[in-house]
Amino acid sequence: MPAGRLRGLAATVRAAEATAPTRPHPNAQTAEGNLATGPVLAVIDRVRDAIRKPSES
């Protein structure tokens, strides 16, 4: 696979990871459910992670 294609795939994976929930949500079991609730749950998960994670100042 060409290096440019690999870099593009890596960027796509990083973007997906940045917008995905950080915890499993078993009630969103379908692709449609994941698409509908994933972005909202991702924000909630990241806020929860920020509150629970010790400050790294």
- Here the tokens at position 19 are 């917008």
Residue 57: the pLDDT is 45
| Predicted local distance difference test score (pLDDT) of residue 9 | 96
Q: How far apart are CA 3 and CA 44, in angstroms?
A: 36
Q: How many CA atoms are closer than 13 Å to the CA of 35, on its beta-carbon side?
A: 3
23 in Cβ contact with 7 (< 8 Å): no
Q: Residue 54 carries which side chain, given as an amino acid letter?
A: P
State the CB neighbour count (10 A cutoff) for residue 28. 16
In whole numbers, what is the pLDDT of the chain averaged over residues? 85
Six token digits for residue 54: 């010790």
Q: What is the mean pLDDT of residues 5-28?
A: 88
pLDDT tens digits, 26-42: 777 788 887 888 888 88
- Residue 56 reports pLDDT greater than 70: no
Total-model pTM? 0.59
